[in-house]
Chains A and B, each alone.
Chain A
Amino acid sequence: MLISIECEARNGLMEREPLVERCFKCSVCAQVCPIQYLEEYSPTQSYVYDLFTCDNVLANPNLWSCASCHKCAEICPQDVNPAHVFLNLKELSFEQGLAPPSVTGLIKTIITTGSSFPTTSVTERLREQLGLAPFVVNAQEELKLIVAKTGLEEKIRKIGG
């Protein structure tokens, strides 16, 4: 039964994020949330409520679509802060290796190159045409020290990234 699955998942989530208890599916957030434009959502089935009640929220790929735009937090009449809840859920999802490969890829790119978008030959050509100096990032060595110390390096190794 859908309802029992919802309750079980919701109870688990509420243990970690007590604020979620206050959500009574008023769907006000559905009016402002950009992720609401995914075809699986409707005015009565909101993105936020889906993540609050789905069977395994950490594996829900839509979790990683949350833009952290905070519109839900701003408009929620119950003072639930879904954006913050999702941030915490993303962390657990990442830890368990359930984040999409594109996310792990982005994190690896940032910590190894220092930039989300590494410089390409196109970058170099465009910058030269505009009379701009080459784009240099001298951060890699220190970032390596930081991710070793925070445990992110180990986390990525564990999830096989």
Chain B
Amino acid sequence: MRYAFFKGCLIPTKLPHLEALARKIFPEFGIELVDIPEFSCCPDPINFSGADQLTWLTIAARNLCLAEEKGLDIITLCNGCVNTLAQARHQLVASEALREKVNGLLADTPHRFEGNIKAEHFLKVFYEDIGVTAIKNKVKNSLSHLKVATHTGCHLFSPHEVMHFDNPYDLLILDEMVAALGAEALDYDLKPQCCGSSLILSGKQQGSSKLLEDKLAKMKERGADCIAVVCPFCYQQFDLGQLMAVRRLKLDYSIPVLFYLQLLGMAMGMSLKDVHYDTHKIKNASLEATCKGT
């Protein structure tokens, strides 16, 4: 399977260890990544899409065209990127008038949107195309000692009529993917609640911390050793955001967050150090002790 690798903005600039993990792990599952340096920001589905919908759509269309010209589907590591690219594709495929309008706006560039390729999140590719059985077959060190609170992240599954992934009311796919690694996926209250990243991005730090306080309380109540995420914004919110919430509200939480690829890497035989746990803000001695020797 060859994919155009849509790295996004946050991962390559601030969390490159997640990109490094993808480059290491994906080939083990037969995924070949093709870099396209002409890709730009998706652009983001919260602020840019609000400020100017037509420009947002045209820039997203340009990104889709770049992969289409190489005959490749896109794979992303970010819920925001896949949300923008899937929404843009959905709108453009649904309306010929809109497609013509956007192609008109692209006329000064060498691109023309046809709509022949898709943009997918890596979790969807792993779940639907590679499959849980193939993942189980790669497990060398079962993570059976870990209780994991999963947080799928809103933009991967909403709006449902565009994303066609999981059930927004009852999220189970990431649980199944974590269970495939041997870990116990916990059911907890507030599971579908947003991570609050947009509160931080709009400068509402108190609100962001209050949200995390609630969500972390529910995770701790069920005895979570760590949080599993598949989006760099959720990742940063549960790591850096958790640290800020703990300081601001004088909380007693230290539940490390692990990107699904970090958990997968550990199950495939990598150590906490190999998956770059040392770069995390929120660490936990009991998690480290549990994972020692794995």
Contacts and interface: CB of A to CB of B under 8 A. Distances in A.
Centre residue among A91, A100, A155 by max chain B CB count within 10 A: A91
Contacts of A133: 35
A8 interface: no
Interface stretch (A17-25, A48-56, A139-147): A139-147
A137 interface: yes
A136 B38 CA distance: 8
B212 to A, nearest CB: 9
Centre residue among A68, A93, A137, A149 by max chain B CB count within 10 A: A68
Nearest to A69: B154
A127 B208 contact: no
Contact of B14 (A90, A102, A123): A123
B71 interface: no
Interface stretch (B105-113, B122-130, B257-265): B105-113
B43 interface: yes
B47 A106 contact: yes
Contact of B109 (A32, A118, A131, A142): A142
Contacts of B108: 145-146, 149
Contact of B48 (A34, A110, A139): A110
B1 interface: no
B199 A130 contact: no
B286 interface: no
Nearest to B214: A37
A123 B196 contact: no
Interface of B: 7, 9-10, 12-14, 16-17, 19-20, 23, 35, 37-41, 43-55, 58-59, 62, 105-109, 111, 154-155, 158-160, 168-169, 192-199, 202-204, 206-208, 210-211, 214
Interface of A: 32, 34-35, 37-39, 61, 64-71, 73-74, 86-87, 90-91, 93-94, 99-100, 102-104, 106-107, 110, 114-120, 123, 126-127, 130-133, 135-139, 142-143, 145-147, 149-152, 155
